[in-house]
Amino acid sequence: MTSLARGQNTALSQTTLAVAIAGVAPGSVDLFAIQVGDDGRVRSDADLVFFNSPTSPEGAVRLTGPDALTLDLTAIPPAISTVRLAVALDDKVPGSLASVPGLSARVGADDCPAGGLTTERAAVLAEVYRRNGAWKLRNVSAGWDRGLVSLLTEHGVTVDGPPPAASTPPPAPSYPPAQPAYQPPPAAPSYPPAQQAYPPAQPAYPPAQPAYQPPPAAPSYPPAQQAYPPAQPAYQQPPAPAGPPVNLSKITLTKSAPTVSLAKSSERPTGHMRVNLNWTQGKKGLFGGGNAVDLDLACFYELRNGDRGGVQALGNAFGSLDRAPYIQLDSDDRSGQSQGGENLYINLAHLDDFVRILIFAYIYEGTPNWASANGVVTLFPPGGPEVEVRLDNPDRRAISCAIAQLHVVNGELTVTREVQYIHGSQRAVAEAYHWGLNFTPGRK
* Residue 187 scores a pLDDT above 90: no
> Looking at the structure, do residues 82 and 171 belong to the same domain, yes or no?
yes
What is the average pLDDT across 363-377?
Answer: 72
> Looking at the structure, do residues 244 and 379 belong to the same domain, yes or no?
no
> Looking at the structure, do residues 335 and 419 belong to the same domain, yes or no?
yes
| Domain annotation covers residue 438 | no
Please say which residue of 218, 248, 278 terminates a domain: 248
* Residue 283 scores a pLDDT above 70: no
Q: Are 318 and 301 in contact (CB under 8 A)?
A: no
As beta bridge partners, residue 261 has 414
Summarised one tens digit per residue, pLDDT across range 98-122 is 999 999 999 999 999 999 999 999 9
| Domain annotation covers residue 110 | yes
> Looking at the structure, do residues 265 and 306 belong to the same domain, yes or no?
yes
Look at residue 412 in the predicted model and tell me its pLDDT. 84
* Residue 139 scores a pLDDT above 50: yes
* Residue 217 scores a pLDDT above 60: no
Look at residue 71 in the predicted model and tell me its pLDDT. 96
| Domain annotation covers residue 381 | yes
- Which of the pair, 275 or 179, is modelled with greater confidence? 275
Cα dist. 76→18, 40, 58, 123, 135 in Å? 15, 15, 7, 23, 11
> Looking at the structure, do residues 271 and 192 belong to the same domain, yes or no?
no
> Looking at the structure, do residues 327 and 188 belong to the same domain, yes or no?
no
Strands 16-22 and 386-390: unpaired
Q: Are 285 and 276 in contact (CB under 8 A)?
A: no
| Domain annotation covers residue 441 | no
Strands 250-253 and 386-390: parallel
283, 233, 264: which is closest to 132 by C-alpha? 233
- Could you tell me the residue range of the domain that residue 354 belongs to? 250-432
> Looking at the structure, do residues 200 and 172 belong to the same domain, yes or no?
yes
Please say which residue of 248, 270, 294 terminates a domain: 248
Summarised one tens digit per residue, pLDDT across range 344-368 is 999 998 999 999 999 999 886 655 6
Q: Are 349 and 270 in contact (CB under 8 A)?
A: yes
Q: Report helix, strand and coil shares of the chain as percent, to nearest 5.
A: 10, 35, 55
Backbone angles phi, psi at 432, to 5 degrees: -65, -30
Summarised one tens digit per residue, pLDDT across range 156-177 is 998 865 444 333 333 344 444 4
As beta bridge partners, residue 31 has 87
> Looking at the structure, do residues 216 and 342 belong to the same domain, yes or no?
no
Number of domains within the chain: 2
Q: DSSP state, 199?
A: -
Look at residue 285 in the predicted model and tell me its pLDDT. 41
Summarised one tens digit per residue, pLDDT across range 27-58 is 789 999 999 999 999 999 999 998 878 889 99
CATH number at residue 185: 2.60.60.30
Backbone angles phi, psi at 123, to 5 degrees: -155, 150
Please give the mean pLDDT across all residues of the chain: 77
374, 360, 369: which is closest to 428 by C-alpha? 360
d(CA 33, CA 69): 9
| Domain annotation covers residue 442 | no
| Domain annotation covers residue 198 | yes
d(CA 378, CA 262): 13
Please say which residue of 222, 248, 274 terminates a domain: 248
> Looking at the structure, do residues 217 and 329 belong to the same domain, yes or no?
no
Give the start-end residues of each E strand in 220-353: 250-253, 259-264, 272-278, 294-303, 308-311, 319-320, 327-329, 342-347
* Residue 97 scores a pLDDT above 60: yes
Instruction: Identify the band that residue 216 occupies on the pLDDT scale cut at 50, 70 and 90.
Output: very low
| Domain annotation covers residue 437 | no
d(CA 323, CA 240): 30
325, 320, 273, 277: which is closest to 301 by C-alpha? 325
User: In angstroms, what is the C-alpha Rg of the chain?
Assistant: 24
As beta bridge partners, residue 417 has 404
> Looking at the structure, do residues 2 and 71 belong to the same domain, yes or no?
yes
d(CA 355, CA 352): 8
> Looking at the structure, do residues 222 and 86 belong to the same domain, yes or no?
yes
| Domain annotation covers residue 443 | no
> Looking at the structure, do residues 185 and 263 belong to the same domain, yes or no?
no
Cα dist. 123→101, 115, 315 in Å? 15, 11, 44
Residues 6+ apart with CB under 8 A from 292: 285, 286, 334, 335, 336, 337, 366
